Amino acid sequence: MMLARKFAVRITEFVVRRASAGSREWAEGLAREVASIRSDWAALCWALGSLQVLVDRRGAPIGSLAEVPAAAYRLVENLRSGYGMWYILLQGPVFLLRFFWEPTWTQRCGCALIVVGAMVACIRLLVDRRRLNKPWKDDVYDDAMACARFYQEELERLLSTMWVPVASLTCYCVGVLEVQRGGIRAQPIFAAILLLLCIATVLAMLYARRMNLRRLDRLDQLLAGVE
């Protein structure tokens, strides 16, 4: 057996092992096709595609209404925790003080941008926590239908306000670059690392957005099935 085919078989076996309960049958179906593909390289391409399916399907496994409360609980806890926005938020006061010490206007602009990013993060966290910390929210998990509607609203809100963390992160990153002594040219490696981190975060956000859209789609189906 050629190395490419062996690799293809390994990949598809991995995908079957890692597939969520709802998509295991599909992963198995994908894996078994490999044996019927004559070209080894085509088999490898097929297997690599199955990895894409795995990534696409793992994040949104709402099989039935009974699974909605757990998914809603996870979302609410994540929103309450504020993801990584605390990190930006906590840097706000430090850079507010540095604003008055920095010698150049470029560095002051950098500090101001970080403070703006921190303020945006702060407003977002406060709004989310105020909304989600209401005591009646804890009862919502008892009724699957009410929970599904609540989850739907939260997902829609999350999607429509996605620009908030993006704006906060952009302000923060541009600010950190500006605040470096000597600008980007003086510390190109730092700037490159920051840029890579930024790209990774934006990609993660886009992936989360795609998963949330799929969850909404699935919720629509589940609610339409009940009504």
Which residues bind to another protein, rule: CB under 8 A?
Answer: 23, 25-26, 28-30, 32-33, 35-37, 45-53, 56-57, 218, 221
Cβ 83 vs Cβ 165: under 8 Å:
yes
Task: Indicate the residue among 78 and 221 with the shorter CB distance to another protein.
Answer: 221
Distance in Å, CB of 72 to another protein, minimum: 20
Dist. CA 11–CA 49, nearest whole Å: 10
Distance in Å, CB of 141 to another protein, minimum: 25
Task: Indicate the residue among 23 and 168 with the shorter CB distance to another protein.
Answer: 23
Distance in Å, CB of 35 to another protein, minimum: 5
Residue 35 is classified by DSSP as G
Q: What is the CA radius of gyration of the chain?
A: 23
Burial class (CB in 10 A: 0-12, 13-18, 19+), 89: buried
Task: Indicate the residue among 25 and 153 with the shorter CB distance to another protein.
Answer: 25
Distance in Å, CB of 98 to another protein, minimum: 47
- Residues contacting 177, CB < 8 A, separation 6+: 110, 183, 184, 191, 194
Dist. CA 213–CA 224, nearest whole Å: 16
Task: Indicate the residue among 46 and 151 with the shorter CB distance to another protein.
Answer: 46
Task: Indicate the residue among 40 and 131 with the shorter CB distance to another protein.
Answer: 40
Query: Within its chain, how far is the Cα of 34 from the centroid?
Result: 31
Query: Beta-strand (E) ranges in the chain?
Result: none
Distance in Å, CB of 6 to another protein, minimum: 17
Go through the chain and tell me how many residues it has.
227
Distance in Å, CB of 52 to another protein, minimum: 3
Angle at the Cα of 184 (from 178 to 190), degrees rounded to 5? Answer: 100
Task: Indicate the residue among 60 and 140 with the shorter CB distance to another protein.
Answer: 60
